[in-house]
């Protein structure tokens, strides 16, 4: 919850009140034109996790499959969007995806896919 005019409101309500301020002009230009829902919501799920033990691995469908599953079974797949994820460590001793790829491969992927960096 966030405070707006001295009242607690949801983040979605803030987006409705002032999408350009809270989502940004570029975001609205890119995503708002593609999907009306994204004019008042994020195209991604924002989570801040506090982890003391390892998290389970999750698999999310790509955009095309997510839309198909949502159309076929909206009661189970409530969102037609994909769920790209990124982990950002907030402490120096945090290890994420340890052992999944060698540093050289990660560097190569970052160089070949600038959007990741």
Tens of pLDDT, residue by residue, the chain (117 residues): 556 677 788 888 888 888 898 889 998 998 888 888 888 887 777 777 777 777 776 777 888 998 999 999 999 888 888 877 777 777 777 766 666 778 888 889 889 888 876
Residue 51 to residue 95: CA distance in whole angstroms: 11
Per-domain boundaries in the chain = 1-43, 55-117
Pick from 95, 115, 112: which is nearest to 53 by CA? 95
**DSSP state string for 9-72:** E-HHHHHHH-HHHHT-HHHIIIIITT-GGGGSS-SS-------SSPPPP-----HHHHHHHHHH
């Amino acid at each position: 919850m966030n405070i707006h005019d001295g009242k607690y409101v949801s983040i979605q309500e803030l987006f409705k009140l002032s999408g350009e301020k809270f989502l940004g002009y570029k975001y609205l230009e890119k995503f708002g034109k593609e999907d009306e829902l994204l004019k008042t919501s994020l195209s991604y799920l924002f989570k801040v996790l506090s982890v003391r033990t390892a998290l389970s691995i999750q698999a999310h469908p790509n955009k095309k499959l997510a839309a198909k599953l949502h159309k076929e079974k909206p009661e189970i797949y409530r969102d037609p969007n994909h769920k790209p994820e990124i982990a950002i460590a907030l402490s120096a001793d945090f290890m994420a995806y340890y052992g999944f790829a060698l540093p050289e491969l990660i560097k190569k992927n970052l160089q070949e896919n600038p959007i990741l960096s």
